[in-house]
Amino acid sequence: MNVSPATRATAGLGFTQIVGWGTTFLMPSVLGRHMEDALGIPSEIVFSGITVMFAVGAICAPRIGRLIDHTGARTIMAAGSVVYALALAALAFSQGPVTYLLCWAGLGVASTLALSTPSSIAIAQVAGPGARRAIGMLAIIGGFASTVFWPLSGALDVAMGWRGTLLVYAAIHLFACAPIHLLVLPSRPPAHHLSASAAPAPTGVPTEIRSRVFLLLSLTLSTGAFVFTGAMVHMIEILRGLGHPAASAVLLASLIGPAQVTIRLFELLFGHRYSIMNSAVVGSAMLPIGLGLALLAGGNFVVAVICIAAYGTSNGLKAVQRATLPLALFGRGQFGAYMGRLALPQGIVSAAAPPVVAAVLSYFGAAGALWLTFVTGTASLIAMILLARLARTVR
């Protein structure tokens, strides 16, 4: 049976994205307590590793995006897997806060080379006109990262401790992810991509409004990223602050994943039937709707389920649209450059969100955190509506 290059790339990158998110962003949720005890550092420092990773990734992203446009993603993503392996192995031997955070800086470099932004650029290059569908499928696969790695991290931690677990993860990056990148991606950008980059792309918004479109897109994605990153890390604590028992808070938070995957699957199956801009506006609207309901009656379990479903739906759509919107608005010719430029503000905001939301939670409780995220989510919606009006011809 012949497997298309796009299908092969989507399956391979789906695996590496699950590993990438599972061994970095999701890892401290399970291993953080043992790291805290072993290294003698407070939990704030443990979770600051995620902030360092996002910040370093944001700084590196614009240059890497432009580079992938010209050279393709194969070698860059394989190199990212090697850097992941080195950084995780070094993290396994860290002895204090300085070496701990330096290792997370290394993970930030690796993420810029091999995580979400380069994978989206790679899929767009390989899939060509079918990029929106391929990116949607990649997002669906990536949505299972917590389902796979939270229990896996727990089991490995029991069997060999957190240092041994990190060494296993380093080996997976080196001996599985790096070869997969080399096998499923072409050595150079495909011909349809090169031909698109040789001249101005005929698709997307007119040149004269691209700067305004980019500004609005950057604003809506960055404010959305603040809510998603900040609230996701502290969701259980927010739910507990609304009055839900610990077990109920964990159960409610666990519904985010299924909501994300469900909406991504719907987008994959039916996305071709409606405008991507309409989908983006709906996804942006779900965020303040869910947060507003939480402010009004979030202590009620049924209302909380609706809030979580709205939050997960918005997050699931935004995860797809972070790649498909730039593709629709600017075309394939300079997709990597645009993705890299967009990743810079998103990365900075994502780095700042967890400690900012934590501080608000500490001083103002769950209501304060919800008001902060509600206002930020509303700003994201307003920017998206303005963007949709400016780029009304884009489907």
On the question of pLDDT at 195 being above 60, the answer is no
CB-neighbour burial class of residue 94 (10 A; exposed 0-12, middle 13-18, buried 19+): buried
C-beta separation of 84 from 177 below 8 A? yes
C-beta separation of 303 from 247 below 8 A? no
Average pLDDT, the chain: 88
The predicted structure's pLDDT at residue 385: 95
Helix, strand, coil abundance in the chain, percent, nearest 5: 85, 0, 15
On the question of pLDDT at 201 being above 80, the answer is no
C-beta separation of 264 from 136 below 8 A? yes
On the question of pLDDT at 202 being above 50, the answer is no
The predicted structure's pLDDT at residue 24: 94
Above pLDDT 90, what percent of the chain?
A: 49
Scored b (16 or more CB within 10 A) or e, 210-226 reads eeebbebbbbbbbbbbb
On the question of pLDDT at 67 being above 80, the answer is yes
Average the pLDDT over 273-297 and give the result. Answer: 91
Mind giving me the DSSP string for 84-135? HHHHHHHHHT--SHHHHHHHHHHHHHHHHHHSHHHHHHHHHHHHGGGHHHHH
Q: Tell me the pLDDT band of 230, cut-offs 50, 70 and 90.
A: confident
Selected from 1.20.1250.20, 1.10.10.60, 3.90.1150.10, 3.40.50.300, the CATH number assigned to the domain covering 207-390 reads 1.20.1250.20
Q: How far apart are CA 124 and CA 336, in angstroms?
A: 9
Average the pLDDT over 282-296 and give the result. Answer: 94
> Which of the 8 DSSP states describes residue 187?
S
Q: Tell me the pLDDT band of 305, cut-offs 50, 70 and 90.
A: very high
The predicted structure's pLDDT at residue 190: 67
Q: Which of 113-122, 192-201, 339-348, 380-389 has the lowest mean pLDDT?
A: 192-201
Which of these, 144, 114, 120, 119, lies nearest to 132 by C-alpha position?
120
What architecture does CATH give domain 5-197?
Up-down Bundle (1.20)
The predicted structure's pLDDT at residue 222: 94
5-197 and 207-390 have identical folds: yes
On the question of pLDDT at 334 being above 50, the answer is yes
Quick: pLDDT tens for 349-363: 988 888 888 889 888
Average the pLDDT over 127-152 and give the result. Answer: 84
The predicted structure's pLDDT at residue 180: 97
On the question of pLDDT at 147 being above 90, the answer is no
Domain ranges of the chain: 5-197, 207-390
On the question of pLDDT at 200 being above 60, the answer is no
Average the pLDDT over 76-89 and give the result. Answer: 98
Q: Tell me the pLDDT band of 294, cut-offs 50, 70 and 90.
A: very high
On the question of pLDDT at 27 being above 80, the answer is yes
Mind giving me the DSSP string for 55-87? HHHHHHHHHHHHHHHHH-SHHHHHHHHHHHHHH
Higher local confidence (pLDDT), 78 or 323 = 78
Residue 106 Cα to chain centre, angstroms: 18
pTM for the model: 0.83
Q: How far apart are CA 369 and CA 353, in angstroms?
A: 11
